[in-house]
Amino acid sequence: MKAGNTIMQFAGKQLDLATPQVMGILNLTPDSFSDGGELLRSGSPDLTLVRQRAEAMVAAGASMLDIGGESTRPGAKAVSSQEEMDRVLPVLEALQKFAVVLSVDTSNPELIKASAQYGAGLINDVRALERTGALEALAATSLPVCLMHMQGQPSTMQQEPVYTDVIAEVSQYLVQRVAACELAGISRSRILLDPGFGFGKTLQHNLQLLNSLEVLQTLQLPVLVGLSRKRMLGIITGKAEKDRMVAGVAAAVIAVMKGACIIRTHDVDATVDAMKVCEQLAFTTRTISTGVL
């Protein structure tokens, strides 16, 4: 059970993180992981298609949408700042009417600032604001941020990840980034944490992290996780990306049972059902433990 205030502010929209929230992925990259880049038409977002996809995810129960214009896939081509802005900003504008939190998956200081102006509710940064100017850019907005752990850089991170104690090292890194945020004037009430499944981690590292995820609760900040269709699920099941939904939902349930508040996923419908089951269990536990029933 979560202590204290569980309501988090996302630029005027509020979510109660005592209830698991589902974040749907909208990939605006030509080489995107499992949704094959079909949201881009000759380099620009197909807004009709994007609206359709967003509508389906919202109808299925997503309370957040994560919009990304830079691929962090190992070996992906670097994107120019302008190109990334041209992919993301029209989409932010087109999705304003949806009553969900619009998250922008970026490390780019320019896009961080512009996103705030275009109505974003969260910055999701796989580089935890380590890019030059990113901390300052985020501090200049009033947006919350998700700080993710990654070992190395996307291009080489899966070559030979090494840890002595993966959970301790991920925790220590996140603690340091929270301190850097606070020094830059970003208060703890604006920070979420993510262990970064698959980002410079072997299957063993990912499993250790998932199994010890509750350790991150000691940092007393909300935890977001992305496990959807990832390679670790492919290794475990032997299945292709498009056939990893059930494995991803199973992993999401484990993460939520160990304290995660937000699940980032391609498969909103199935994940929302699973979260409803988790939620009922938490409710039952809470009423019994407080002696109300």
Q: Which residues bind ligand 7PM (CB under 6 A)?
A: 25, 33, 72-73, 105, 124, 126, 146, 148, 194, 196-198, 224, 226, 228, 230, 264
We find the least distance from the C-beta atom of residue 292 to ligand 7PM, in angstroms, to be 36
- Tell me, what DSSP letter sits at residue 86? H
Angle ∠(44,229,255) on CA atoms, nearest 5: 120
Residues facing residue 193 across a β-bridge: 147, 223
Residue nearest to ligand 7PM (CB): 226
We find the least distance from the C-beta atom of residue 219 to ligand 7PM, in angstroms, to be 16
Which tokens sit at 234? 């492919």
We find the least distance from the C-beta atom of residue 253 to ligand 7PM, in angstroms, to be 16
Q: Hey, what's the torsion of the CAs at 59, 11, 210, 289, to 10 degrees?
A: -80
* Residue entry with tokens 């939904």: 245
We find the least distance from the C-beta atom of residue 250 to ligand 7PM, in angstroms, to be 16
Closer residue to ligand 7PM (CB): 9 or 158 = 158
Whole-angstrom distance, CA of residue 183 vs CA of residue 248: 36
Q: Contact, 199 vs 242, CB < 8 A? A: no
Instruction: Determine the residue type at 108.
Output: N
Catalytic residues: 230, 264
We find the least distance from the C-beta atom of residue 21 to ligand 7PM, in angstroms, to be 13
* Residue entry with tokens 């940092």: 219
Which spans in the chain are helix H? 47-59, 81-94, 109-117, 134-140, 166-183, 203-211, 231-237, 245-257, 268-290
DSSP per-residue letters across 22-47? EEEEEE-STT-TTTTTTTEETTEE-H
